[in-house]
Amino acid sequence: MTSEPHTSHADGLTGLGVSPGRTAGPVYRMSPPPTLPADVPPVADPAGEVSAAAAALRFVADELTRLSRQVAGTASEVLDTEAMMAVDPTLADAVARRVDAGRPAAWAVTDAVAEQQEAFAAIGGYIAERAADLADVRDRAVARLLGLPMPGLPAPGEPYVLIAEDLSPADTALLGPRVLAIVTRRGGPTSHTAILAKARGLPAVVGCAGILDLPDATPVSVDGTTGVVSVVAAAAVPEVREAAARDRARLSSLTGPGRTADGRPVPLLLNVGGVADVVADAEGVGLFRTEFLFLDRTTAPTVDEQARAYAEVFAAVPGKIVLRTLDAGADKPLPFLGLATEDNPALGVRGLRVARDHPAVLADQLAAVARAAAETGADVQVMAPMVATAAEAAEFAAAVRSAGLPVAGVMIEVPGAALRARALLEAVDFVSIGTNDLSQYTMAADRTNGELAGLLDPWQPAVLELVARTARAGAAAGKPVGVCGESAGDPLLALVYTGLGVTSLSMSGSVLPAVRASLAARSFADCEYLARLALDAPDAATARRAVAGSVAGAAT
Ligand code: PEP
Ligand code: MG
């Protein structure tokens, strides 16, 4: 069974809105990968075929390296890794063997990549996931050898809505300024597509069945909040864009702290991975993901180096900063830790658990944070990822305090921690709910698996109940309960969370104005009513529809 949440309505297609905003434009799909002709030509010049394959792979590597220089962070790393794969001597040897066996260059590359993909799959885990990168290398090399268009982004010569099965990190890294919005058939709320679209402020809908049935150039309107994609008349496109521009102008005219219409404060904080993500318009940082500083490291960063990196971010943030200690493992592999390969890495040694075998990594990080906080005078709070028990929370809080840092919290990402939130809150000063992982673990659905988008939906009543339970525990303890998963940036869920008693919301800077406006238009009692609607709904889609319908009804 797959869990495609997608439904089709007479008025359009519906998927998961994962990055808010409206726009309209013609759809264009990713260019499909090249297909090999049915007839395999004979090999007249084996040496020539081997050198043609090598030249094509070198071309692919050079192209990927060039593209990597245009982007930063994880995106650049993904492209560099792909470039290295393209010129891996093992691949070259395998290609040569296939040519010797009578296969022309393009076929030899295809077979050799298939062989390597099988080997990767057998190793499992993170390595197995690299099989998709190899497929990209193969498609690019085969296109080069056969003189076909490079697979990847279309170039229609006009602004367009990009449609695709799903986008790889390499694709998302390369989106140009002409992309108005993204709609994918697969992909989940925490997929690369969602995170990157939000970072760029592009409306995005994932898990949208039927989107690939639309021919290229079909004009559509896209609503990244409701997830509705509708076919429209070409003449209506400018109208939708103008209305969207008016929406944006209205949103950006609202400034100031987050609060409901009746003045209940809901601080709006930022999720950042570095200084580039800090925007002036927020009340502080609710999630500083420190692992981004270390993703490409093969040796442990020194306390000095870390202190410098943290101080740079601390100095750029006006309000409080919640720094998360390293969240290594599973979807965030950090080579310098040399973590063992595991059968189920998402359930393995990750997050705070890494500190069991590497206590010095946590101690060094806390020492560096304390130094940077002292140097900059910033209001720094520290929290741990992937905490499962009250004992872990207490141990972490003790480590934070003994490093001289006054405020310690933990993330609620594991259902066991949400169920025991009261006990955890006795040990720490605050908690922050990571709905990306909380959804994954509550629904037993791998967050990197786009097929499971429907289960991963943070509107799932089971996930909302755990958020509600955690918020109640916070209220009882008189301690803050934030949400810092991607879902906090959903203007409708932000209302629901507020109604459940969540005390702050942390999100990417680009979605903050929409959340601010959404809160400003409703009273706290409205939010409580919407929270009840969502909690009482039998499933995620009904919950979203009920809340969206009530909000739209109130607005008219
Ligand atoms: C989360 O799990 O919701 C979260 C904010 O952490 P990350 O996405 O970095 O795992
Ligand atoms: Mg997490």
pLDDT digits (tens, 9 = 90+) for 287-318: 999 987 776 677 888 999 999 999 999 999 98
pLDDT for 360-401, tens place per residue? Answer: 999 999 999 999 999 999 999 999 999 999 999 999 999 999
C-beta of residue 60 within 8 angstroms of C-beta of residue 112: no
Strands 408-412 and 160-164: unpaired
C-beta of residue 211 within 8 angstroms of C-beta of residue 184: yes
Evaluate: CB of 273 within 6 angstroms of ligand 1: no
pLDDT reading at 540 higher than 50? yes
Torsion sign, CA atoms 67, 68, 70, 71: positive
Token couple for 202: 């592009």
Mean pLDDT, range 13-24, rounded to an integer: 89
Paired with 332 in beta bridges are: 329
Cβ contacts of residue 344 below 8 Å, gap of 6+? none
Q: Find, among 450, 445, 389, 396, the residue nearest to 418 by Cα.
A: 389
Residue with the two structure tokens 């200690």:
325
pLDDT reading at 10 higher than 50? no
Residue with the two structure tokens 């929406």:
247
| Ligand 1 center to 346 CA (angstroms) | 12
Please work out, in degrees rounded to the nearest 5, the angle formed at the alpha carbon of residue 391 by the alpha carbons of 385 and 396. Answer: 45
Select which of 6, 208, 484, 527 is catalytic.
Answer: 484
Evaluate: CB of 130 within 6 angstroms of ligand 1: no
| Ligand 1 center to 329 CA (angstroms) | 12
Evaluate: CB of 291 within 6 angstroms of ligand 1: no
Alpha carbon 532 to its chain centroid, in Å, reads 28
- In the chain, what are the domains? 13-31+152-233 (3.50.30.10), 46-146 (1.10.274.10), 261-555 (3.20.20.60)
pLDDT of residue 446: 87
Top-confidence range, 5-19, 209-223, 246-260: 209-223
Q: Find, among 314, 334, 307, the residue nearest to 272 by Cα.
A: 314
pLDDT of residue 169: 60
For atom 1 of ligand 1, the residue with the nearest CA is 434
pLDDT for 398-448, tens place per residue? Answer: 999 999 999 999 999 999 999 999 999 999 999 999 999 999 999 999 887
Query: What percent of the chain clears pLDDT 70, i.e. is strictly above it?
Result: 92
Q: Find, among 362, 331, 324, 326, the residue nearest to 345 by Cα.
A: 331
Cβ–Cβ contacts within 10 Å for residue 328, how many? Answer: 26
pLDDT reading at 4 higher than 50? no
pLDDT for 229-262, tens place per residue? Answer: 999 999 999 999 999 999 888 888 888 999 999 9
pLDDT of residue 146: 95
Q: Find, among 364, 236, 245, 379, the residue nearest to 299 by Cα.
A: 364
What value does the mean pLDDT of the chain take? 89
pLDDT reading at 74 higher than 70? no
Kindly identify the ligand whose nearest atom is closest to the C-alpha of 436.
1
Evaluate: CB of 26 within 6 angstroms of ligand 1: no
pLDDT reading at 2 higher than 50? no
> What region, left, alpha or beta, does residue 232 occupy, with left being phi > 0 and alpha being psi -120 to 50 degrees?
beta
| Ligand 2 center to 369 CA (angstroms) | 20
